[in-house]
Structure 1
Amino acid sequence: MRTSLSAACISTCISLCITLGWLHVPVICAQEVTTSTPATGNSVSEASLPDDPSTSRFPVATPLPSTAGQKVIMESTTQTKTGALFTLDGDVSITTETYLIRADKITYDSDTGDVTAEGHLRVTGGPSQQTISASHGNFNLHTETGRFYDVIGSIGIRTGRKSTVYTVGNPFIFTGRLVVKTGPESFQIFDGTVTSCQLPNPDWRLSSAKFIVENGRATARNTFFRLLNVPVLYLPYVTHPVEAEQRQSGFMVPVFGQSSSKGFILGEEFFLVINRSMDLTVGAEYFSRRGFAQSATFHYKGPGLDFLTAHYSGLLDRGYTPTGGVYTNQGGEDFTVSGRKDVTEHTRAAVDMEYLSSYIYREAFTDNFNQAVASDISSFAYAVHEKNGVIAGLYLDRYQGLKRVASTTQTQQEVRIFHVPSVDLDLMERRIGASKLIFSAENSVATLKRVQSNFTSDISERIDVHPKLSLPLAAFGWDFRPSIGVRDTFYSHSRTPAPIPGATPVELSTSTNRALFEAEAEVRAPVLERTFDTSGFLQRFLGSSVKHTIEPTLKYRFATGVNDFSSILRFDVKDVVADTNEVEYGITQRLFLRPTKSHACGVGETPPEPGTECGGTREGFRWRIAQKRFFNENFGGVVPEPTYVTPVGQAAQPIIRRYVLDSTLDYSGVAFLTEPRGLSPILSEMQLSATEHLDIEWDMNYDTHAGKFTQSNTFVNYHSGNYFGGISHARLNAPGRFTTGTDTSGSGENCTATTTCTSPYSNFSQLRLLVGYGTPTKQGLSLAANVGLDLPHPLITAATTSPIGNTATAVQYATIQTGYNWNCCGFALEYRKFELGPVRNENVYRFNFTLANIGSAGNLRRAERLF
């Protein structure tokens, strides 16, 4: 009870109940005291309290007058008071605006704020949610200082009746024979330990004669690091973070490992906190076989979506000489920067740029396979203003593409394209007055440059104006949208007209202008749908009902006016526009599944029980099939009939040439033409979500002209609880990147072994496998493995029965990882293999030992884990 229950009627009722034996309760006394700092007095006289409250037959509830200062609420079984000194006994609790103090017995001086407690002392509260459990101690409520004995304490943990809640990401737990609290957020721990693990048996802890906790960190000298209660490391000086939101500068845990190509690896990093929004990490690694590698990473996080991240890596390679080979140096530098700045509500700027000095450097030393084999680098920076349907932007771009890898018989071929800059002005679709006509426009002025091994252009200007007028119509469920537009593009420079690809291009200072008229019409029929009820065995997979929808599409496009395609320099998609007369037709089928149990969840809500879903339905299957019919089969003469060469002693054979046009650029996986044709490959995109745990996708192109699959990608992904797995297969069988080659069959597939045959075909088949158990945070064992295989796809030449190309399965990369997590520490071990031709054949052994709230030791980073 508190002082508000001091009314005479309530006291009389309680006294009567106890007298009659109807109520048996322990005597609980409650006081609410308002103190100043310090309190000047107390209006309650000693005579107003019972001489021996333990013999009182009713709880004491004495109201005290309020004075300025902190409110203190005292609750206990018995209470006595002498002047400003309160003596509380039996399940005592003192509550202030900041702290809650519990103990078996407490003496409290309301004038000085001193609290002396004995037996099961527990103090909780403070700005950082401190908890101190001790056998006895004293504490001053005004200065928030005190001494505590036989202590178990924590910062950042809130303990409830049924659970322990971590209020911060990295809790700080400590024990000590004596803890001296020197301020609200500072104290000293004598003969103690600190850890982030659950007591009483932490996985790791630091032990020292004295820890000093202040300014958001704990420091100590002559410290022992204990793992599973075994001392494993002596540290002359150590710091440990206390506040999760306050980062600390300092050296990171050293990195070390082993690699067959790098040798022994030893590295160190330093983390610098610049301010609340910025930090910098710099480091260096020593490779015993190659030399020194250096790195630096900068992070900035501003208000809203503003951010800036920069990363630099480099290697001073001493090089190596393979057996019977020549000296090879694979050193280089890689610098990336990305960021965004919202200037106003309608204006923002962004950057995503990379500088790579050598493709060989990245292929030889990156730990990411997809990055190691990437041959394109796109860098851009832009500023854009969007308001009232008008988009104005300033755009800078640099494209760097590796088209041919250097070898002993050929030089490296690389293309670099620059937009320095491009100024864009686009008008979003808007109605013209009260009519149904919709007007839009895309306009740009660009300064361009192209550099490649056999050609370097001067800086060229391009002005592109593209207005468009549309009229959307709808009736009886049908949607019809015809549109017309014109496109005028001016180029300050041109090139000598020649078939593409052909001889070495020659740039001309003569300007050229391309005027294009285009017309489009898109028709969408009403969606056909039907719902089927399921029963019996099918309900386990399809749910209670299935809705089947069919969505046919038809789109016609006509463009004319490109009379000088071969004289236009190539910089981006705007420069591959050609005459066309085509129609695209397709059909999309979907299956929507309704689970047996469904629930209509609100925003942010979760289903009420396992097995239910919000919304009641999900898309379980989607299959799109489409094809294009070209009525202008040579695209206004841009794609000529194939030319032939006649090798000595052989029949005439076609030269394979590739032509990239806007009609196929974003439509097919094989975005080029090799000869005039009336039909595009059949495009098929199929996705199946058979269950909540299984996803399947198959995308493919089937060329009816060549009678084969030119491209096929298959993906299967399974996940259930801690188990996961995946398989993917990629197949490409199409004309290659280069322009020369011979073919005796006429299909472009069988290349003769002559000097004129220079990679006429891109023909590969690759398989990826992934299987695993566990997660990075799962306690216990986790295991995962993946592998990338280059499958056999040999070609048989016409002149001989000897196969060429890949005749056996080759491993491109493989990884095996295993790990074990305890309560707050974990260990992971990895073997990784790279086999990337003559550039890289490496076996890497890596490990990682992680301590909660401390860091990681080793060279296996968290982002590179398979599980």
Structure 2
Amino acid sequence: MHHVKTSTPILAWTLFFLVHLFIPQTAGADTVQARQWELSADKLTRHENPPTIIAEGNVILEKQQPATTIKADRVSYDITNSVLTVTGNVYIDVGTDRLVADSGAIDLDRATGTFHNATVIQEDKEVHFEGRVIEKTGALTYHIADGWVITCKLEPGQTPPWSFAASDVEITDGGYAWLSHATFRILDVPVLYTPVMVLPAKRKRQTGMLFPTFSLSDRDGFSLETPFFLNISPSADLTLYPRYIANRGIMTGAEFRYISDENSKGMLMGNFLNDRLSDPNEVDYYREGHFTHTNANRYWLRGKADQDIGSWTTRLDLDLVSDLDYLREFDIGSTGFSISQEKFSDAFGRGFIDKTNKYRENTVATLRSWDNGTALLGEAMIINDVSEQIYTDNNPSKAWTLPSLTHSGVLPITFLNNPDFLWNANYTNFWRDKGVNAQRIDLAPTLSTGIPISPYLEATVAAGIRNTSYIIDDNGADAWGGKDSENRFLSHFSSELGTTMMRDFAVSLGGGDSLNHTLRPFVGYSHVSIPDRKTLPQFDRIDELEEENALYFGINNFFSIAGEQNGKEFERDYAFLKAKQGYDLRNEKSDKPLTPVIVETGFYPLQNMRIKYTTHIDVYGDGAFLHSIDSSYHDDTGTHYTMDYRYNEREDINSVKGTLWYELPYNLAAGYSLERAIEQSNTLEEVVRLRYTQPCWSVELSSNSTPGDQTFMLTFRLANIGNPLGFDLPGR
């Protein structure tokens, strides 16, 4: 037996076993690799029978390539059996994994080992596995008995804010955690049990289960949604949303996404449910919810795509729903209308039309622009009509455009005092199942120019003609029987005269020290002449053009503030006020020639706050018959609100819709939203939300009330459980 006390590298042959610690090597490489190891310990002992090397006291084994560190109070190496025993404050760092334990044994030939009271911390020190016994079954695979899993960083001795405890855990080479008899725990308190669970336990995009969502509804009963995320490729993924609804059945759902580059991406979502509640004999269900659908097969397919194909920019918008009630009944949840609206708006900058709209538009458009100011636009639109109306040949359905082609441009004419020649040429094929169909060609060339009257007056003049031709297919409509074509010719002229005045004021307002006021009064004239007025097929606003002969007058006010914040100069809009009214010169309007006064005002008291108000005022006794308010605010903490109010006496509209999300102290946040039809004293939807957030997890309780139903939903969001394509997912 030999005793050596050392803190410097020792002979390579005494350490060759460390070469195999976690990366097995060939025999020919042992001696070369062994020379890279360094050992320091308070005491080193070699026993001859059996051949054993023992290092004691602050033992540190280090290797540079690949970087590996082993620390322990005592290390014993059985040379004959190639078994390394480590005891006391064991720490092993193999680059991607860190392991700490009370003790353990490592089979160097097989690169396996068993550790007691151990913890494995995986890549980025974000994923933790802890167990009474951890078996290292491969290079990056483990088996854990009586352990738990957590995917957020912990301080030494810290109780995990949330974890999955299990009697048996298998960690695969791909980074999956397979849990048997698992319980989800908050601060080590079990709140949920599942016999089997699979976790994608890495921060990278990875296939695996996402955290489920639970809800309880007066109408639907208990509901459980268990999303499953599939990592198809670095630029595409698929999430499945199976959902059990006790009183309705199984709802299936899927979401596919791809990103090719900054300008090319797409998202497609779909849900299907064979609904047991879709039975007209369910009197309470239909009466309390004001539902009208009778179909049991219910679905919603929606999607958007932005795709650049060479020099063409293409946009796709898809919105197909089985019935309008679907969007109201399934508004909340990870695949509901509200979340879908938010998700698509964030990803594409555009969402879906209001869930109460009976005509869902499905469009595809592709655009090519040239440097000379011309552009070619191709469009197609299909209407998903869920109005439940009965159409006839003389009561037409909504028209589809299959397709529409538009060529437009602007061309300066230099030899005529620089006027602009503008043109818009459009071909559209309109199709519908019931009612007249037509192919329409619309040509609208226009000349526009500015007229220099004086340094204080600005004038513009525009004049043009428009010819609209129709090739008609009566499609059984009596009013168009025997007609195969129609044509409308019109001329138009418009002009505007105004002046612009500006002045700066020294103020202390909105963080600025200067207020700029721009005042622009104007008067205009518009004339449209249709020599041979005819009845035309009606498809869109082009067909609805009427004669016009009117004067317009108004005044525009724009306010902006400027100043310095944080050492940087800034300038931003602060407010505007616009008013406009017309005087109709046509004889048939001589008894009431004045049009309603249109007033619009906007106010931006803060950088991230806007308030806009619009009203229409009838000057012949009705007064203000239209009011519209739009307002929103958000700040860096996450607090935001929106409020929209609509009132139109002539169309019997009186409704309000608002949302509020407020960040509270102690990591709490609360939300409230309301949609109410004031005239009918009917609350369409009311949602209350309360969320508690920690650095790597959050829990939210929400209540959703609609006519005849109230739903409570519990949602957990966990850090690093699947982070697909940079988008947030429920359960992440």
With the shorter chain as reference, the TM-score category is 0.7 to 0.9
What do the CA deviations read for 1:337-373 (whole angstroms, capped 9, x no partner)? 3333635331243321333343355455545599443
Please tell me whether the aligned partners of residues 76 and 88 of structure 1 are also in contact (alpha carbons under 8 angstroms): no
Please tell me whether the aligned partners of residues 319 and 384 of structure 2 are also in contact (alpha carbons under 8 angstroms): no
What do the CA deviations read for 1:631-680 (whole angstroms, capped 9, x no partner)? 4437xxxxx67xxxxxxxxxxxxxxxxxxxxxxxxxxxxxxxxx985333
CA distance in 2, matches of 1:626, 1:507: 47
Q: Which residue of 1 aligns with 2:647?
A: 731
Please tell me whether the aligned partners of residues 627 and 679 of structure 1 are also in contact (alpha carbons under 8 angstroms): no
Please tell me whether the aligned partners of residues 204 and 225 of structure 1 are also in contact (alpha carbons under 8 angstroms): yes
- 1:176 to 2:131 alignment: yes
Shift of 1:699: 2.0
Q: Which residue of 1 aligns with 2:148?
A: 193
Relative to structure 1, the CA distance from residue 220 to residue 527 in structure 2 (aligned partners, 3 Å threshold; closer, same or farther) is: same
* Aligned partner (choices 312, 315, 319) of residue 280 of structure 2: 319
Please tell me whether the aligned partners of residues 92 and 104 of structure 1 are also in contact (alpha carbons under 8 angstroms): yes
Q: How does 1:553-572 map to 2 (within 5 A)?
A: 554=522, 556=524, 558-572=526-540
- 1:395 to 2:395 alignment: no
- 1:426 to 2:408 alignment: yes
Shift of 1:463: 0.8
Q: Which residue of 2 aligns with 1:298?
A: 255
Q: Which residue of 1 aligns with 2:350?
A: none
Q: Which residue of 2 aligns with 1:616?
A: 570
Q: Which residue of 2 aligns with 1:378?
A: 361
Please tell me whether the aligned partners of residues 403 and 415 of structure 1 are also in contact (alpha carbons under 8 angstroms): no
Q: How does 1:184-263 map to 2 (within 5 A)?
A: 184-197=139-152, 199=154, 200-202=158-160, 203-231=162-190, 234-249=193-208, 253=212, 255-259=214-218, 262-263=219-220
CA distance in 2, matches of 1:513, 1:31: 100
- 1:813 to 2:728 alignment: no
* Aligned partner (choices 596, 602, 607) of residue 687 of structure 1: 602
The alignment yields a C-alpha RMSD, in angstroms, of: 4.8
Q: Which residue of 1 aligns with 2:468?
A: 489
Please tell me whether the aligned partners of residues 460 and 495 of structure 2 are also in contact (alpha carbons under 8 angstroms): yes
CA distance in 2, matches of 1:446, 1:373: 28
Q: Which amino acid aligns with 2:686?
A: A
Q: Which amino acid aligns with 1:318?
A: D
Greater RCO, CA 8 A, separation 6+:
2
Relative to structure 1, the CA distance from residue 88 to residue 685 in structure 2 (aligned partners, 3 Å threshold; closer, same or farther) is: farther
- Equivalenced residues, count: 663
* Aligned partner (choices 592, 595, 619) of residue 560 of structure 2: 592
* Aligned partner (choices 443, 454, 478) of residue 425 of structure 2: 443
Relative to structure 1, the CA distance from residue 355 to residue 104 in structure 2 (aligned partners, 3 Å threshold; closer, same or farther) is: closer
Q: Which amino acid aligns with 1:134?
A: A
Structure number with larger C-alpha Rg: 1
Question: Structure 1 unaligned runs (5+)?
Answer: 1-26, 44-66, 159-170, 407-412, 496-502, 535-540, 601-614, 635-639, 642-674, 735-761, 793-805, 835-840, 857-861
Question: Structure 2 unaligned runs (5+)?
Answer: 1-5, 20-24, 47-52, 339-352, 723-727
Secondary structure in 2 aligned to 1:157?
helix
Please tell me whether the aligned partners of residues 102 and 120 of structure 1 are also in contact (alpha carbons under 8 angstroms): no
CA distance in 2, matches of 1:194, 1:685: 58
Secondary structure in 1 aligned to 2:271?
strand
Percent identity among equivalent residues? 14
* Aligned partner (choices 545, 550, 558) of residue 577 of structure 1: 545
Q: Which residue of 2 aligns with 1:152?
A: 119
Per mean C-alpha deviation after superposition, the further-off stretch among 508-517 and 819-828 is: 819-828
Shift of 1:145: 5.8
Shift of 1:817: 2.8
Please tell me whether the aligned partners of residues 379 and 405 of structure 2 are also in contact (alpha carbons under 8 angstroms): yes
Relative to structure 1, the CA distance from residue 584 to residue 180 in structure 2 (aligned partners, 3 Å threshold; closer, same or farther) is: farther
Normalising to structure 1: TM-score of the pair?
0.64
Secondary structure in 2 aligned to 1:571?
coil
Please tell me whether the aligned partners of residues 381 and 397 of structure 1 are also in contact (alpha carbons under 8 angstroms): yes
CA distance in 1, matches of 2:306, 2:674: 40
Q: Which amino acid aligns with 1:732?
A: N
Relative to structure 1, the CA distance from residue 193 to residue 522 in structure 2 (aligned partners, 3 Å threshold; closer, same or farther) is: same
Q: Which residue of 2 aligns with 1:12?
A: none
Please tell me whether the aligned partners of residues 527 and 550 of structure 2 are also in contact (alpha carbons under 8 angstroms): no
- Higher share of residues assigned strand: 2
Relative to structure 1, the CA distance from residue 525 to residue 565 in structure 2 (aligned partners, 3 Å threshold; closer, same or farther) is: same
Secondary structure in 1 aligned to 2:543?
helix
Please tell me whether the aligned partners of residues 194 and 206 of structure 1 are also in contact (alpha carbons under 8 angstroms): yes
Please tell me whether the aligned partners of residues 166 and 180 of structure 2 are also in contact (alpha carbons under 8 angstroms): no
Shift of 1:123: 3.9
CA distance in 1, matches of 2:190, 2:695: 18
CA distance in 2, matches of 1:107, 1:40: 26
What do the CA deviations read for 1:11-50 (whole angstroms, capped 9, x no partner)? xxxxxxxxxxxxxxxx9868999x995696999xxxxxxx
Shift of 1:555: 6.9
Q: Which amino acid aligns with 1:625?
A: K
Please tell me whether the aligned partners of residues 285 and 292 of structure 1 are also in contact (alpha carbons under 8 angstroms): yes
CA distance in 1, matches of 2:29, 2:644: 81
